[in-house]
Structure 1
Amino acid sequence: MPDTALPSPAPSPVPAPVRPLAKGTLGRRLVVRVAVLVAVVAMGLSTVVALAAYNIQISQVDTRLGLALDRETRRVGGGVGGGPSGPSPGGQVIGTITATQTAATISGAILVDRSGNNTGVGFETLSTDALGQLAALNLATDTKTTIQLSGYGLYRVAAATDGTNRVIVGIPMGEVASAMTTLLLYEALLAGVVIAGAVFVARSVVVNSLAPLNRLAATATAVSNLPLETGEVEGIVRVPHSDTDPVSEVGRVGLAFNHMLDNVEGALAARHASEVKLRQFVADASHELRNPLAAIRGYAELTRRERSQLSATMAHALTRIESESDRMSTLVEDLLLLARLDSGPALDLAPTDLTEVVLNATSDARVAGPDHHWSLSLPDEPVYAMGDRYRLHQVLANLLANARTHTPPGTDVRTAVRVENGRAVLTVTDNGPGIPAGLQAQVFERFTRADTSRVRKQGGSSTGLGLAIVVAVVTAHHGTASVQSEPGRTVFTISIPSAPAPARG
């Protein structure tokens, strides 16, 4: 069902200031992106450094491995030392594995001096599992590889042949692994420090860089909460001069925003001045028209004494003059009232019993429209509102007159009052033909009329100001007016702040 309502004059609540790095803010997104970028760069650099260090150490191990392999090949081929029964001349690399392979069988293998001396006492034969791993290796000449030797740890191994025997030499990678572990730990610690420092620096830079933008947003928020619909332009703030430097992007936005506010202020000032002049003109014209209209009405009423002596045409003309002067007087009074309301109504606010207002207004409507069916829906207890009794009676009288004028005889018109969510609510409901859909959006505007031919046929009259007066009075009471209409049901609703019942005695 269509619903047309008058916007509440109360300003929108001012949103709470947003923290610079609150969730969803541009500042937070920038800091997170900078942190992610620094983390990726730090991880990339750490990876490159770790790989370079690993390759350097592997190169050094391979050089040692090549020397050991060459020495062991000469020893086995020359028969010096006789294989695994003793150390080779010149000493061994501590922990070096030496194995001699004939055909597919390891004839002997020793772990050289794992205890740290070269006297032969520290030599031991490899385990069966380790011998099996060495026998399974398929190493080409000059090929070096890293294996996890069962029971002995990580080794870098290579093989060579003297034409008859195949010599396999291995060098432990424990020192390399330990050095790489230490390097990775230091790199992780350094990367963490760098990322934390980047976040701290980025946070400071972003907060300081976005401070002008936040001040611009605060200015825009302050302006958006000004009651500009009244046309009054006092108190429009501007972006500070320090934030309007055209060199920076934010400065250009601030400068453009101030220029926009200047244009808005100028337009509002011109509009307000025009409205003030129009209100003054309407008030002055309405006031000046009251006296000549009173004179016309008086002379028209004076002719009633001699209308029996006039022709029918002349008598009808005088009757119409009297009727139209009454209508014009009503129009002038409504215009004068609207002008006064626009310029700031002087309301006599006090706790007002709306139940009594409804009873009196409905009683008057029954007298004015006996061909309609008038009914009431009242609560058990009186409903009070902080308002002007006379003006609220006028609001309800206008709504009832609107229902009487724009509905056919026999229409049911029901008036109700209730309290809802701390507000006093008045409703006027009828089962008439309803308001045309194209007219509902403008029903509260001035000089909006329904089908005038229908109004005149019913013998009523309409100035088009009744509902405009309703809205003006309700707005002055910090309330709202709305309408819901469809064929067979029209509801006008008035909502104003309620008030406690006055103390008795």
Structure 2
Amino acid sequence: MPASFDRWWNGISLRAKITGVTVLLLTFGLAVAGAGTMSVLRGYLIDQTDAQIAAAYKALPANISIDDIQTFGDQSAGLIPYYVAAVDASGKIIDDNLTTSQASLRPVTSSLTLSHVIDLDGAITLSNASHTQEWRVITYPIRVDNGSAAATLLIGLSLSNVDSSVARFILIFFGFALAVIVFGAATTQLLVTSTFTPLREVEATAARFAAGDYTQRLGGATPNTEVGRLNRSLNTMLARIDRAFADRQRTVEQMRRFVGDASHELRTPLVSLRGYAELYRMGALQTPEEVAQAMDRIEREAIRMGTLVEDLLELARLDEAKPLRLAPVDLLPIARDAALDATASAPLRRITVVVPESLDAPAPAEQTPPSEGAPPAPAGTAAPRPISFAGATLARLRRRRPAANSVETAAPASLPIPDVGPIVLAEEDKIRQVITNLIGNAMRFTPPDSPIELAVEVDRVGGYGAISVVDHGEGIPPQLREKIFQRFWRADTSRTRDTGGSGLGLAIVAGIVANHHGHVEVVETPGGGATFRVSIPLLPREPDTESSTDAPAAAEEKAPRS
């Protein structure tokens, strides 16, 4: 039974539930009010009847006799509606003023024994034998048979007027109550319907959203109402679901493209390996030179495939988001080591490590405005400033071309080259890999004799240490600067794999920097070329201690400038 009731109750709409419960409560309230009013009204009318009976007793003669009882009130004429009777000690009526035709209306007085009458205090209600007539009576002691016997005098009034008045009140109240219930039900239905209109819109919007239209949003409700707050919350939820679906779709598409690109990249070396293996098996390689050439090609393709697999493995590890082994890392030695490694691999290229005058950010009043054409600062960092050294800007330094196969550390002639650069919180091997990938990218897409600068910077205001890899090649168009960090993306699809790479190096750079809570950006180098700037959060310093690298800078700021 409870289970079936639950199914029945849950199958009713919310509007029907609210309307039904409201009507039920209204009916119950009116019924209680009607019953209470009827009880009070009946009691009030009975009290008035008792007062009339008491007033009638006072109008009786002082010494009433049986003959007076028969003549008191002509019930047949209906002029005096009082009932007067004498009852003996056993409760039997001695005489009353009812006629023979009115005998059926005579009340039953068997309970009015002398002992019971003595205990009575006030009026009582008696009924006739058929319970069709009620009398309200008051008892008074009298003496009968010339004063030799005790009896009880009954004076009463019929309650038919009281019952008719109460019945008339019930009829009137029922009519008004029915009108109130009907009006309340109609008003409740109208109010619930108008109130639930926004909820029906929510239902329709949710249905359209579930059908695949993720652009659906809710509106029109007052923001400070419950429905308005619900709409705002649902809009936020729908927006997040829409973004989640978009991100999921984008991730699926990227994964498909990634798998397709990886398969394409791996297919070429595998085809080459299989082709040369079949040539060798078929005996098409006759001379030692042909065999050596085939082995050389097999080795090159194997190396290329191994590099590609290592890059894919690195990207997979980055996607796993494993905790990094963070430690204080100095960016200046990393820049110097990367420059030395690049010089060893490209002896004809000039690699320069650019060091600013001071690794501390200057005060806001002393900041040099950016030069015309300089790239804007990334979001969340301080405004860029020209890196000055030896009294020349970076653009002027590029005009000096020292001998090839040299690694320079540019610094002011009046200041010693600092031994300590900006200290960041990072994993050193990952940062070295980032700089190596960026230098390799710059060397791949610039002429062999084009210089490369590694600029070490620090932004105390933004809380970042940065290394910029500056080249002077063709540069990267603005519309492609966000795409170059995608996996397997190459700016020129017509390039061969010997020059174009696999398109994973910059994706690895972006993944490593993002795991360090930093950011990488590419801007245009003044005069032409591309500048890749990697920013890593600085190591938090103790508030009561000063770094040893700040002492020379502070001393320099206090000393007068020549």
What TM-score do the two structures reach when normalised by structure 1? 0.42
Q: Which has the higher contact order (CA 8 A, sep 6+)?
A: 1
What TM-score do the two structures reach when normalised by structure 2? 0.38
